[in-house]
Amino acid sequence: MTTTCTESRPAVPQTVATIGVLFASICFGLVPYFSRGLTEQGVAPHTVAFYRYIVAAVVLCPVLFANRKAWRQIAWGLSAGAVMGLGWIGYVTALETLPASTVGVLYMTYPVFTIVIAWALFADAPTRRASMASGLIVLAAIIAGSPASVPIEHMPLLVMSLAAPFGFGFGICVLVYKLSQIAPLARIASVSLGSVLGLAPLVLSSEVAELLPGDRTDWLLIVGIGLVTALVPQLIYTVCSPVIGASQTAVVGSVELPTMFAVGFLAFGEAITAPQAIACALVLGAVAITKSRKARTVSTVLAKSPKQ
């Protein structure tokens, strides 16, 4: 993990770093716009996921080659990337039908999966604050995904969408417990390449119509999902989050969820219902609970690990 020296002045001023994390988190929240735009043009969900990771994998491949001696860590990164990439298919599939705000709340359950996986696989028991925050997040997911909010026939899509936060939670654990000895860019490169390799068989077996958007102008959506929602914010987040610390990163980064709500409302004309607004408030409350410099929580994990 990247650490900062408290005795020397950081390379990036704290104000600039805060703005950087804010910008990166907003970019992460724009995923539904690009994702649904591509699926509406007939692009398959697994292809959309592939496009999101391919840019970072190609651009950062030289960094991975330079760290090739750390092949054990790279192997862990590749495996985490494969799980994350395949899990992201569920997220994209759910966005085809369900409101972006609902899917966004379900996606924000990844801290719960992170805590459970860290406890089960790496014997890292959660703190009391982390457990309380997890309870609020689970409650938010129940409210957002209840039959009162989502038709019964769409429940399988909700369950499928949970593959994404599970994959992200697993990826966070691998980043923290297995990839701490390699450079941050090498971590991003290994995870991105793993996602591409995991999705490649599905992409190679797809029809041409599932790979390319019908309108040539929609190629901008492919560029956008790879650059605007992945490579660029990942790099900014990796540089800026250690400067402002875990607590501040968690608070500033929580803007990702309201951004998803805004995308649903402004881009797709989705009304924000009372249950969705309550669920959003609960998630933001969970972030506030973990706002502690001393507590080793999921927020700490996220602030010290590059966002995927």
Residue 6 lies in a domain: no
pLDDT at 5: 45
| Residue range(s) defining the domain that contains residue 26 | 14-304
Distance in angstroms (rounded) separating the CA atoms of residues 25 and 109: 16
Name the amino acid, one letter, at 74. Answer: I
Rounded Cα–Cα distance for residues 37 and 39 (Å)? 6
Written as six digits, the tokens of 141 are 């997911």
What is the three-class DSSP state of 221?
helix
pLDDT, residue 180, reads 80
Question: What residue has token string 């020296």?
Answer: 5
How many CA atoms lie within 13 Å of 130's alpha carbon, on the beta-carbon side? 24
Contacts of 302 (CB under 8 A, 6+ apart): 111, 172, 241, 246, 249, 250, 253
Q: Confirm if 230 and 52 have CB atoms less than 8 A apart.
A: yes
Residues near 101 by beta carbon (within 8 Å), at least 6 away in sequence: 144, 260, 261, 264, 265, 270, 272, 276, 280
Q: Do residues 98 and 150 lie in contact, with contact meaning Cβ atoms separated by under 8 Å?
A: yes
As a whole number of Å, the end-to-end CA separation of the chain is 15
271 assigned to some structural domain:
yes
What pLDDT score was predicted for residue 76?
95
Closest CA to 17 of 289, 203, 188, 245: 245
Is 83 among the domain residues? yes
**266, part of any domain:** yes
Residue 8: predicted pLDDT: 52
* Domains contained in the chain, number: 1
- 8 A C-beta contact, residue 230 and residue 56: yes
Give a yes or no: residue 24 inside a domain. yes
How far does CA 24 lie from the centroid of its chain? 11
What is the value of pTM for the model shown? Answer: 0.85
Residue 2 covered by a domain = no
Residue 240 tokens, joined = 């800026």
Q: Give the pLDDT of residue 182.
A: 87
Task: Tell me the mean pLDDT per 10 residues along the chain, length 308.
Answer: 46 88 95 94 93 94 91 94 95 94 93 90 87 91 84 91 94 86 90 95 89 79 94 90 78 90 95 92 86 44 50
190 HSE (CA, 13 A, CB side): 29
Let me know if residue 82 belongs to a domain: yes
The answer to whether position 8 is within a domain reads no
Structure letter (DSSP) for residue 151:
-
> Cα separations (Å) of 16 from 1, 4, 97, 98?
21, 16, 38, 36
